[in-house]
């Protein structure tokens, strides 16, 4: 019998290199720092690491403004350090996923510098989206950057270039065959160096349509595309259906070509996961059709409230939609672009939700620090570095809070992360959240994660689908419990503020907090907690 691909139900640990561990005392994490702590990662029980960008970059947007996609930024080390990291990860049975950024380059990339000097009508400018101003001197259209402000910047000769993000990130023109060829070269470069897969940044954004056409509600659309903007869901969905530069059909032709490239490596089982926030949700499944990519991120949990109806709907929809293309969902509670789950829904709730999600079929993604129960870091305005903060003149605080470095050991900040001053401040309030402290505390979040991932691997990976139990058939906000069975495991979550009775089958093997007691022949599940029972 052919075994399932390694990625199908993997646990993947996202590392933001600048914030993981600083090996040389300059205040910024680096590749050698990651390599030195791979045993910690392995002992957590994950299958792979995903590295956010470490490429040559002026770092205007946390490394997602890439100046050379086939080299390492000196702040992180060099190519030898990447090779050593990959080798040491593979020695420990860990796969390595690299971030790739195909929607845009940095304005410091040689291509863009050539485009500036070559001038109007040049083949160099055809690699990007350069257009003349309107007759009144205004930009070619009214689109707004997702980071705030206009999505067009004017150069000295009067033309404008498109950037859906910061002005330092000019969008590439994927109608140009040179762009295709260059990215295929980049993919092969990293695969040949040993990486096992790719996370594709803004995977839904490569193809643009109606570039010279105004949008009827550019500000609303910009807000609809942001994870951190509160908006009525119906309005958000209606706006998402009108996006002229995301989720165009042309992106799928690109990924069909990439899939052939990945498959050409045979038993290496190279995989790719798409960052594609699209609407309606069925559109996400197009990215994981049999001849395209392997996974697509499910963003619903990054914004989901802690209530039974929302979570039931998200989980049920994700499983059923992916089944239409013979794929499994992905589950993530935090990442580098969103508030940490503890800050969003609370500490108890974050532990309960993590344990509940770890039992589900599919791959789960853990953002470094999530296992420690870290909240967003406390960052003052004068310390912020996210371009969103500057482009919105401080109206949107940005993502720095989720990117504060990890606390490792000791009693005073920066808790062993660096011998120097960290690039973002680590609060003294994290004293009890260090790796050292949590390793010594059997009731810590870290111990819960390690035990859950061990049991997940032993009893749940490959166990098939789920069967909903209790009142979850209704998915009502009044339902205190959500519960499902999968294989020999029953997973239950109490979302209420009061203990709830549950008729459990089997032995309690795992819980997220509190004490699960016997009561009237049933189990009493503590408030805002989850538990696993093994038959």
User: Which CATH number characterizes residue 505's domain?
Assistant: 2.60.40.1180
pLDDT attached to residue 227? 65
pLDDT attached to residue 492? 96
Q: What is the mean pLDDT of each run of 10 residues along the chain (535 residues)?
A: 83 98 98 98 98 96 95 98 98 98 98 97 98 97 92 97 96 98 98 98 96 92 78 82 93 98 96 92 94 94 91 95 94 91 96 98 97 94 84 82 94 96 96 98 97 98 93 58 96 95 92 87 93 96
CA 426 – CA 408 distance, rounded (Å) = 11
Q: Which residue has the tokens 């910047």?
A: 153
Cα 270-225-176 angle, rounded to 5 deg = 55
Q: Is residue 98 part of a domain?
A: yes
Q: Do 308 and 402 belong to one domain? A: yes
Q: Are 365 and 330 in contact (CB under 8 A)?
A: yes
pLDDT attached to residue 471? 55
Which residues lie below 8 Å from residue 475, measured CB to CB, with a gap of 6+?
308, 309, 312, 313, 316
Q: Do 183 and 289 belong to one domain? A: yes
Backbone angles phi, psi at 258, to 5 degrees: -65, -40
Catalytic residue (one of 247, 275, 300, 349): 275
pLDDT attached to residue 476? 52
Domain boundary among 425, 453, 481: 453
CA 52 – CA 99 distance, rounded (Å) = 5
Q: Do 510 and 424 belong to one domain? A: no
Q: Do 438 and 493 belong to one domain? A: no
Q: Which residue has the tokens 């470490």?
A: 54
Q: 96 pairs with which residues across the strands?
A: 49
Q: Are 100 and 205 in contact (CB under 8 A)?
A: no
Q: Is residue 5 part of a domain?
A: no
Q: Do 269 and 358 belong to one domain? A: yes
Domain that holds residue 123: 110-162
Q: Is residue 25 part of a domain?
A: yes
CA 355 – CA 372 distance, rounded (Å) = 14
Number of folded domains that form the chain: 3
For residue 238, the domain's CATH number is 3.20.20.80
Helix axes 347-358, 445-455, angle to 10 degrees: 10
Q: Do 132 and 278 belong to one domain? A: no
Q: Is residue 168 part of a domain?
A: no
Sign of CA dihedral 506, 509, 512, 513: positive
Backbone angles phi, psi at 482, to 5 degrees: -120, 135
Cα 350-97-34 angle, rounded to 5 deg = 75
Give the pair of three-digit tokens for residue 352: 């309960």
Q: Please confirm, yes or no, whether 178 is among the known catalytic residues.
A: no
DSSP state of 215: -
Nearest to 408 by CA among 369, 377, 376: 369
CA 206 – CA 249 distance, rounded (Å) = 10
Q: Do 398 and 264 belong to one domain? A: yes
Q: Is residue 169 part of a domain?
A: no
Catalytic residue (one of 22, 65, 73, 201): 201
CA 164 – CA 334 distance, rounded (Å) = 23
Describe the strand order of the beta sheet including 467-469 as a list of residue ranges: 467-469, 481-486, 489-494, 529-534, 507-511
Q: 531 pairs with which residues across the strands?
A: 492, 511
For residue 122, the domain's CATH number is 3.90.400.10
Q: Please confirm, yes or no, whether 275 is among the known catalytic residues.
A: yes
Q: Do 402 and 519 belong to one domain? A: no
| DSSP codes joined into one string, 283-320 | GGGGGGSTTS-SEE---HHHH--SSHHHHHHHHHHHHH
Q: Are 32 and 80 in contact (CB under 8 A)?
A: no
pLDDT attached to residue 1? 41
- Specify the pTM: 0.95
CA 39 – CA 34 distance, rounded (Å) = 10
CA dist list (Å): 230 to 235, 279, 301: 11, 17, 15
Nearest to 76 by CA among 89, 95, 61, 59: 59
Q: Is residue 142 part of a domain?
A: yes
Q: Do 435 and 311 belong to one domain? A: yes
Domain boundary among 420, 453, 486: 453
Strands, E assignment, 481-520: 481-486, 489-494, 500-502, 507-511, 517-519
Helix (H, G, I), strand (E, B) or coil at 70: strand
Helix (H, G, I), strand (E, B) or coil at 485: strand
Domain boundary among 412, 432, 453: 453
* DSSP strand pairing (130-131 vs 160-162): antiparallel
Q: Do 470 and 439 belong to one domain? A: no
Q: Is residue 4 part of a domain?
A: no
Q: Do 92 and 69 belong to one domain? A: yes
Q: Are 407 and 373 in contact (CB under 8 A)?
A: no
pLDDT attached to residue 473? 47
Residue 390 burial (10 A CB sphere; 0-12, 13-18, 19+): middle
Q: Do 529 and 382 belong to one domain? A: no
Q: Is residue 459 part of a domain?
A: no
């Amino acid at each position: 019998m052919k075994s399932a691909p390694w990625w199908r139900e993997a646990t993947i640990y996202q590392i933001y290199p600048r914030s993981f561990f600083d090996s040389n005392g300059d205040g910024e994490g680096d590749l050698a720092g990651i390599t030195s702590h791979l045993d910690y990662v392995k002992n957590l029980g994950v299958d792979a690491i995903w590295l956010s960008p470490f490429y040559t970059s002026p770092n205007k947007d946390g490394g997602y403004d890439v100046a050379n996609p086939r080299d390492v930024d000196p702040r992180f080390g060099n190519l030898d350090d990447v090779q050593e990291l990959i080798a040491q990860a593979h020695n420990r049975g860990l796969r390595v996923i690299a971030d790739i950024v195909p929607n845009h380059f940095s304005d410091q990339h040689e291509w863009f510098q050539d485009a500036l000097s070559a001038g109007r009508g040049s083949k160099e400018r055809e690699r990007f989206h350069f257009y003349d101003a309107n007759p009144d001197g205004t930009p070619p259209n009214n689109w707004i950057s997702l980071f705030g402000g206009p999505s067009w910047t004017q150069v000295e000769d009067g033309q404008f270039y498109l950037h859906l993000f910061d002005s330092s990130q000019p969008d590439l023109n994927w109608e140009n065959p040179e762009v295709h060829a260059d990215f295929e070269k980049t993919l092969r470069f990293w695969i040949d160096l040993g990486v096992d897969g790719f996370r594709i940044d803004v995977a839904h954004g490569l193809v643009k349509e109606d570039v010279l056409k105004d949008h009827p509600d550019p500000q609303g659309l910009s807000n609809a595309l942001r994870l951190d903007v509160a908006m009525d869901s119906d309005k958000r969905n209606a706006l998402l259906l009108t996006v002229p530069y995301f989720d165009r059909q042309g992106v799928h032709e690109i990924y069909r070509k990439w899939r052939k490239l990945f498959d050409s490596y045979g038993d290496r089982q190279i995989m790719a996961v798409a960052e594609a926030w699209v609407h309606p949700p069925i559109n996400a499944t197009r990215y994981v059709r049999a001849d395209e990519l392997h996974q697509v991120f499910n963003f619903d949990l990054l914004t989901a409230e802690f209530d039974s109806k929302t979570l039931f709907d998200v989980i049920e929809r994700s499983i059923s939609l992916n089944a239409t293309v013979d794929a499994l969902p992905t589950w993530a509670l935090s990442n580098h672009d969103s508030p940490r789950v503890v800050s969003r829904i609370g500490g108890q709730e974050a532990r309960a939700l993590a344990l509940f999600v770890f039992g589900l079929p599919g791959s789960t993604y853990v953002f470094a620090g999530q296992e420690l129960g870290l909240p967003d870091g406390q960052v003052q305005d004068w310390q912020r570095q996210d371009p969103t903060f500057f482009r919105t003149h401080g109206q949107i605080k940005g993502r720095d809070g989720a990117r504060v470095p990890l606390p490792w050991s000791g009693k005073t900040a920066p808790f062993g992360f660096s011998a120097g001053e960290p690039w973002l401040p680590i609060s003294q309030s994290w004293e009890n959240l260090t790796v050292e402290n949590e390793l010594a505390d059997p009731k810590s979040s870290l111990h819960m994660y390690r035990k859950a991932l061990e049991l997940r691997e032993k009893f749940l990976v490959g166990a098939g689908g789920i069967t909903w139990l209790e009142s979850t058939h209704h998915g009502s906000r009044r339902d205190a419990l959500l519960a499902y069975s999968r294989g020999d495991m029953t997973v239950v979550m109490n979302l209420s503020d009061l203990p709830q009775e549950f008729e459990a089958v089997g032995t309690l093997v795992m819980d997220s907090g509190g004490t699960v007691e016997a009561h009237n022949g049933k189990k009493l599940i503590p408030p805002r907690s989850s538990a696993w029972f093994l038959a």
